[in-house]
Structure 1
Amino acid sequence: MDWKRLKATLLAEGSVRLTGDAADSYVSRSAAGPSAGKSGSVFFAVGDRRVRLTVDPAARPVLEHTGGGEARLILGDELVSGRIEPAALHCPRQAYITVTGRCIFRCRYCPVPSLEGRRKSIGEIVGLVERVQDDIDAISITSGVASTVEEEEAYVLDVVKALRQFDLPIGVSIYPTENTPRLLHDLGVAEVKFNLEAATPALFAEMCPDLDWGFIRDVLRQSVALFGRGRVFSNIIVGLGETDEDLERCIADLARIGVIPVIRPLSPAADLADRPRPSAARLLRILEIHERALRRANLRPQDALSMCSACTGCDLVPGRDTP
């Protein structure tokens, strides 16, 4: 089985039809990002590799649950045996928690501003982690912005303080202020992810008109000085209108300064609901570009402790999905 080809095909499809034995206990739901508000997702794993797919009764790929988490993926004439992984909180082996499920910013690809989500209390978040602490290796925190970036930062810092009692690696991904890297580092956070989202400043300005691509880029550089090379990450979405050359420049630039790019296929939603998902062929081309850039920079996403590069469900990850 060619895993990276299979995963690229599944990521291009984006969804799966779940059949067979009851599998509701394996379905995870998101409160943030492009998957927020959808019908839920499942993690299909073969060995130590996994892919996350939205559950959709109209999907072309079929995932047949044969009981006890064992499953068969049927994609055309291909049949692959594996298992459905339970998500601790949002993903396997992590408590990945959205602190605030609403946002004042209106990035064109994101449905969160229209969902009117709520903010979890610190006690609620601690309780969620307590419930799954025997099944996790890390805690990951993300958040929208309820009122201001500064107020959200202060609240997330209080969340992190409350979570240090679990003595697990903590990763944090929020929209930063200039002080965010230092404040999180002082609290013992292991990894951070600040998202450029788009491959070019011009495309970012079109997609997220209220935010600043250059500022995020500067914060990423500052973060590497604190957390170290390979402990700082940034999402880059494939499918917003960029070229492969745009992606190659952005990936190379981030890798050069010690940031690991997380290459995320577009999940059509919000204003971009009619956009196509990137093709499997394109995802495989970008994977080769990504691999080369990380190899030159001696960066290893397979060593990630938390967040997306530790999970790998939504992206093709060099070192995890490649030999």
Structure 2
Amino acid sequence: MIQRAETEHSKELGCAKHLLLAIGSANVIGVSLPASLSSHAGPGAGQGRSVFFSDGVSRIRLTLDENSPVLIENSGETAVLTFDGPGGLISVEGFVEKTGCHCPKQAYITINEGCIFSCRYCNVPNLDKHIKTPDEIASLISDAVRRENVECISLTSGVVGTMQEEDERLFAILERVRPFGLPIGVSVYPTPGLSQRLFELGVSEVKFNLETATGKLFAEMCPSLDRDVLCNALKEAVGIFGKNRVYTNIILGLGESKAEMKQCITHCLENGVIPIIRPLTPSAQLSHFSRPLAEDILSISEFLQSELLRFGLDPSASKTMCAKCMGCDLTPMTDLHLGEVTP
């Protein structure tokens, strides 16, 4: 249990989210959580169960930890999140969300669990390898649709074979899941011409992850991958999918300077790509790293917000994947409450 401070402040989740992202965990007591398996994607893949807490506007994903300074008292229909903030105890009223697959309201599915690449921050290569078949994925989506109010299908994958094999596997899966009639998002390592084929197969949005703010950091963190391939694929995708439909994850806290992160954000937006700034979850070879400071998370997110407004782009228009979920990041237009982008 956390020690209650003398002063208690009630806040909207979005106003406290940068503080929570800097902590990254929560202890949940009360009504048992819905069944939730460890994730094979996203921050903390393979590191155990997590909880999604929402106040109806914002959402955060926190790793379950009985020793966490964040407490969620779950009564079933409602829940209260409390923790000691800079000015006293912060209390947020909300509820614990059920997940479709991986996150709320989405069938977010990892095709290949495992990866032949060994990016230093990623634990996926250490997981047991499993390749889901098109029928297996369709079954997972059917179950999610039946259980929850699933609004989209999101597909991601590690690489376990050749790039051609991965593309063909993805194409077969897309043919199998199109009949669900839901928006589809895809986040994979791109090959030349992939965006055009995905568009033809009914994909709504793509996310090709630059991962780092600089090319130098990318070479250090992802020595087996080519950042130029990603940059070119993102530019190509914008021309095919259009405005507010192309995204990229960039990890905050790998050793980049604030100026380098800001320069990367502006460069992405100049090319029509919406960057999602993902605070580092220390794992794999970076287990000794620290999570980014709350003030750094907030500062960079505010800069991203201002640049989105300047370039007329809006991640809240997303139909799929991370920008729709918002659980792992401080999200402009939603968490920061600075208004909507004008056309």
TM-score surpassing 0.5? yes
The residue aligned with 1:40 is 49
Report the secondary structure of 2:212's partner residue. coil
Structure 1: distance between partners of 2:307 and 2:171: 33
Give the equivalent residue in structure 2 for 1:60: 69
Code of the aligned partner of 2:58: R
Q: Which aligned pairs between 1:72-221 and structure 2 lie closer than 5 A?
A: 72-76=80-84, 77-134=89-146, 135-221=149-235
SS in 2 for 1:52: strand
> How many residue pairs align between the two structures?
321
Deviation at 1:299, TM superposition (A): 0.4
Query: What amino acid is aligned across from residue 75 of structure 1 in structure 2?
Result: F
TM score, norm. by length of structure 1: 0.97
Contact 1:28-1:87 within 8 A present in 2 as well: no
Deviations 1:132-168 (A, max 9, x none): 2252110000000011222112101111111001011
Equivalent pair of 2:13/2:59 in contact (CA under 8 Å): no
Distance 2:180 2:36 in 1: 26
Alpha-carbon distance between aligned partners in 1 of 2:132 and 2:36, rounded to the nearest angstrom: 21
1:297 counterpart = 2:303 = no
1:20-31 paired onto structure 2 within 5 Å: 20-23=30-33, 25=34, 27-31=36-40
Contact 1:5-1:284 at 8 Å conserved across structures: no
Aligned pairs (5 A) from 1:278-293: 278-293=292-307
Residue 259 of structure 2: aligned partner:
245
Listed one character per residue, the Cα deviations across residues 219-252 of structure 1 (whole Å, up to 9, x for unaligned) are 1000000000210000000011101111111100
1:50 maps to which of 55, 59, 72? 59
- Percent of paired sites with the same residue: 43
- Secondary structure of the equivalent of 1:67? coil
C-alpha distance in structure 1 between counterparts of 2:153 and 2:128, whole Å? 25
Partner of 1:267: 281
Q: Which residue in the other structure is 1:223 paired with?
A: 237
Letter of the structure 1 residue corresponding to residue 14 of structure 2: K
Using the size of structure 2 for normalisation, the TM-score is 0.91
Residue of structure 2 in register with 1:4 after alignment: 14
Q: Distance in 1 between matches of 2:37 and 2:60?
A: 13
Amino acid at match of 1:84: V
Q: State the alpha-carbon separation in 1 of the partners of residues 129 and 68 from structure 2.
A: 27
Shift of 1:185: 0.9
* SS at 2:29 equivalent: strand
Cα deviations by residue, 1:97-127 (Å, 9 ceiling, x for unpaired): 0000010000000011111220111111001
How far apart in 2 are the matches of 1:252 and 1:182? 25
Deviation at 1:293, TM superposition (A): 1.2
Unaligned runs of 5+ in 1: none
**8 Å Cα contact 1:34-1:112 kept in structure 2:** no
1:18, distance to aligned residue in structure 2 (A): 1.2
Correspondence for 2:247: 233
Q: Indicate which of 294, 304, 307 corresponds to 2:321.
A: 307
Give CA deviations for 1:16-73 in whole Å, capped at 9, x if unaligned.
Answer: 01111212x15353112342111211111012211110111111101111223x1111
From 305, 317, 320, give the equivalent of 2:331: 317
